[in-house]
Structure 1
Amino acid sequence: MIYGGFEIKSFEAGKGQWHARIQRTDQRPVVIDGISFPTLDIGFAWSDRDAAIADAKLLIDRFPQRYGVTMPSATASA
C-alpha cells in the first residue's frame, strides 16, 4: 500500500504478531538525525495486519514534525 509517499508492507513475525515495514516510494533513504535508513521496521507487534498498517501511517504522519524528515513527493521520478 502507498501512503504519503511511502510504501507500507505488513508481515507476520510469529503467530499473530504483525509488523509493518516502510520505504520511500522514490527509493531514497529516510534520514533521521543524520542516520540513513533504506527501510524502517515499525517496532511494535500488533494482533492484526490492519493495526500494524494504521501504526505505520501514524508514524509517517509524524515524520516532518518530530524528525524534520523531508517527505517524498507523491510521484516518484526515475
Structure 2
Amino acid sequence: MIYGDCEIKSFEVGKGQWHARIQRVDQRPVVIDGMSFPTLDIGFAWSDPDAAIADARRLIDRFPQRFATIVPSAEALS
C-alpha cells in the first residue's frame, strides 16, 4: 500500500507473526540520526497483516520528517 511518500508491505516471519516494511516511493533512503536505510522493517510482531500496516502508518505519522520527500525551496537553490 502507498501511504504518503512511502510504500508499506506486510510480511510474515513465523506462523502468524506479521511485520511491516517501509520504503520511500522515490527509492531514496530513510535517514535516522545520520544513518541511511533503504528500507525499514518494523520489528513488532502482529497477529495479522492489517495490524502490521496500521503500526507502520502510525510510525510514519509520528516521524514525518524522516519519511517525507523534502523539496528545497527556490530560495535555498539561489
Q: Same fold (TM over 0.5)?
A: yes
| Length-normalised TM-score, structure 1 | 0.84
Q: Secondary structure in 2 aligned to 1:8?
A: strand
Q: Which stretches in structure 1 are left out of the alignment for 5+ residues?
A: 74-78
Q: Structure 1 stretches (4+) deviating beyond 3 angstroms?
A: none
| Length-normalised TM-score, structure 2 | 0.84
Output the CA distance in 2 between the equivalents of 1:33 and 1:18: 27
Deviation at 1:69, TM superposition (A): 2.2
Deviation at 1:43, TM superposition (A): 1.1
Which has more radius of gyration?
2
Task: Report the RMSD for the aligned CA atoms in angstroms.
Answer: 1.3
Q: Which stretches in structure 2 are left out of the alignment for 5+ residues?
A: 71-78
- Structure of higher RCO (CA pairs closer than 8 Å, 6+ residues apart): 1
Alignment of 1:50-69 (within 5 A): 50-64=50-64, 68-69=65-66
Aligned length, in residue pairs: 70
Overall identity of the aligned pairs, in %: 80
More strand by share: 2
Distance 1:2 1:49, change over 3 A: same
